[in-house]
Amino acid sequence: MSDYAVLRGASYTLAYTPDMVIHDGATQVTERIVNPDGEYLKELPKHLRSFEDVVRYAPNQAYIGNIDNEQLKAIEFPWYDKPTDITDRTGKYGEIMPEDEFYGLMQICDTFDLVELEAGFAASVKEKLAAHGMFSDEQVAVMDKNAEFTEESLKAVVEDGGCGLYLDGKLVGAVKKAHDVDVNLSAHVMLENISSKATSVLSLLHLIRVTGIDPAEVDYVIDCAEEACGDMNQRGGGNFAKAAAEIAGLVNATGSDTRGFCAGPAHALLNAASLVKAGTFKNVVVTAGGCTAKLGMNGKSHVEKGIPVLEDCLAGFSVLISEDNGTDPVIRTDIVGRHKVGTGSAPQNVIGSLVTDPLDAAGLRITDVDKFAPEMQNPDITKPAGAGDVPESNYKMIAALGVKRGDLEKKDLATFIVDHGMKGWAPTQGHIPSGVPFMGPCRDLMLEGKIERAMVIGKGSLFLGRMTNLFDGVSFVIEANKGQSSGGGSGVSEEEVKGLIASALKDFAAGLLAE
């Protein structure tokens, strides 16, 4: 049997950007156009959290790995009014970066001098990023070019079509347009794209920290965010993957982008695992940055209900897929669910195509999967907006199918949801919640021997692009490594294998003679 690719590690990061909620989130941008004097925009600033609140927020600490799902589950819901005692912005998987440092990171990631920062602000940020420990002296020195920028010069950039960068309501920076007439290179689009690139870079740097991999060993990078970069001649034809790899120092990597709305990460991970299994590359990284449009996406509902605006962070993640080493969990590319063109949009058909069909083909029951990781949205965000508890809804559908198939009894429905499900903890950044937040915890649980098998489920709404009315989705199974690999660092040489075969044949011959 050919070796499968393994899940070698994952990183997760958040960039706290409350001022970007006000100025760059799609809900707020639209509101300023259609209802600029409305109550929502007046009330919004009163509902923004502090950085300390964001750090102590339980789902955020779960995202960066300082608490696990069982600990999150033990906290009484809702969570927004029950801060943890954790004040550490850095976790096992990544970090929560404050807004001022993130603006500095945006400038580090800007290779066309489109980001300008006010001189005094830039100096303070340079000092913080120099102490951060993940950025080179050369990268931090980029902030020296801001010496001539004043608040007045930044205002001129904004008046010329640029986008302001604000801190506590004060203008501290600006993103310039990259072309006079090309809307694909407008300041708004450039801000979106640089933000996505920067959050991806932050996650890549933490992935290097988490896994200990030499950056030069990464062969290929796949970006699966929801943004697209390009110009008027190829507006989505660009390459976030290679752009982020350059800043992160992955000098031997090439790469490309994979898009699929919320299902993009699952598609990208399957591509990565297949490339490694085929022997095309040894180490492939799947990465994605955050989406500024999703900031404050459900803000109106949160403000109406008198709770904090919880979509105040840009999220990122990176996952390392490598050759089988006999230890890390394997990605079973032979147990793959697909929402096919003919599947349809009925929930039962969708779940059937993604969950039961691939399990049936592999001779497995629903109860043979220890944990399912579908859309892991944080219910603190979605329930006040009327969308309910998304993970719980998915688990109920999976359990119902299990009862219908005879995999479990009706009386076991509630127990199944508890045992095989999880509480959602991921920010609603579109692609970010779609199964991928569990990759890091899944690896840990399997290495600890606590679970044997998991299924990651990514679903996407292709109809949003107005090209088709179809949904989309793919799924795959991750299993604990049995250590039976014959390559990729298993420690068994070809000579030893030949010796084992020869010994087995000798024993077999002796047995025949004895008969």
**pLDDT tens digits, one per residue of 357-378:** 999 999 999 999 999 999 999 9
Q: Where are the domains of the chain?
A: 332-479
pLDDT at 486 > cutoff 50: no
pLDDT band at 483 (very low <50, low <70, confident <90, very high): confident
Give the whole-angstrom CA distance, residue 504 versus residue 498: 10
pLDDT at 510 > cutoff 70: no
Would you give the DSSP letter of residue 11?
Answer: E
pLDDT at 172 > cutoff 90: yes
What is the average per-residue pLDDT within 219-234? Answer: 96
pLDDT at 2 > cutoff 60: no
What is the average per-residue pLDDT within 241-266? Answer: 97
CATH code of the domain occupying 332-479: 3.40.47
pLDDT band at 202 (very low <50, low <70, confident <90, very high): very high
Note the pLDDT of residue 484.
Answer: 61
pLDDT at 503 > cutoff 80: no
Q: Over pLDDT 90: what percentage of the chain?
A: 90
- From residue 265, alpha-carbon distances to 196, 256, 473 in Å are 15, 13, 10
pLDDT band at 505 (very low <50, low <70, confident <90, very high): very low
C-beta separation of 372 from 398 below 8 A: yes
Omega before 374 cis (within 30°)?
no
Look up residue 12 and give its amino acid: Y
pLDDT band at 345 (very low <50, low <70, confident <90, very high): confident
Give the whole-angstrom CA distance, residue 119 versus residue 54: 28
Q: Which two tokens stand for residue 119?
A: 């001189």
What is the average per-residue pLDDT within 101-108? Answer: 98
Q: For 442, phi and psi rounded to 5 degrees?
A: -60, -45
Q: What is the mean pLDDT of the chain?
A: 93
Strand partners, 231: 234
What is the average per-residue pLDDT within 70-96? Answer: 98
Note the pLDDT of residue 35.
Answer: 96
Note the pLDDT of residue 498.
Answer: 43
Token match 């993970």: residue?
391
Neighbouring CB atoms inside 10 A of 33's CB total: 8
Give the whole-angstrom CA distance, residue 340 versus residue 217: 36
- From residue 250, alpha-carbon distances to 110, 243, 277, 286, 456 in Å are 17, 10, 21, 13, 27
Tens of pLDDT, residues 396-436: 999 999 999 999 999 999 999 999 999 999 999 999 999 99
Give the whole-angstrom CA distance, residue 373 versus residue 376: 7
pTM (global) more than 0.85: yes
Tens of pLDDT, residues 48-64: 999 999 999 999 999 99
